[in-house]
Amino acid sequence: MADLSSKYKKIINNLEKNIKDKQELEYIKEQVYAITSLFLDELDKIIEISENKMQDLLANQTELQEKINKVESSVNEIEKDIYMEDEEEFEFQITCPYCNHDFVTELTNSTQEIECPECKNMIELDWDEEDSPCENGNCSGCQEHHDDEDM
């Protein structure tokens, strides 16, 4: 703004130096002032319109961000229901096949193996119930099938 003001003063000074008739000088100064005022008024309108548009954009952006947050929250809940449900921890009693130590532990159904706290051997877990040997009657540790075999 300071640069604009100094340039305006320079133009007025040039007019005063080059125009000798005082009446004509005053008329020209008034006309320059009128034109300048018109441009400044239009500039103010443009700035006001731009500021209003910017406020509208900010309001829309805030509204959109809130909607995005809601959608993201919903997607996270759906993802949690789909993927994390499988990761729920369940308490299991396990008998180590190496040392026969019984222990209780929390596992998810994605856990593939666990270390026996007694003998430190890794116990492989089989979550595939369809291929369970108990369903075929070929298991070695199920008391139910051993009782059936004795009969």
Q: What is the mean pLDDT of residues 11-39?
A: 92
pLDDT-derived band at 151, boundaries 50, 70, 90? very low
* pTM for this predicted structure: 0.41
| CA dist 76 → 80, 87, 110 (Å) | 6, 15, 20
**Whole-angstrom distance, CA of residue 113 vs CA of residue 123:** 5
Give the residue, 85 or 126, on which the prediction is more confident: 126
Across the chain, what does the average pLDDT equal? 82
Tokens of 94: 């396990």
102-111 average pLDDT score: 82
Q: Which residues of 62-96 are buried (b: 16+ CB within 10 A; e: fewer)?
A: eeeeeeeeeeeeeeeeeeeeeeeeeeeeeeeebeb
CA distance 16 to 25: 7
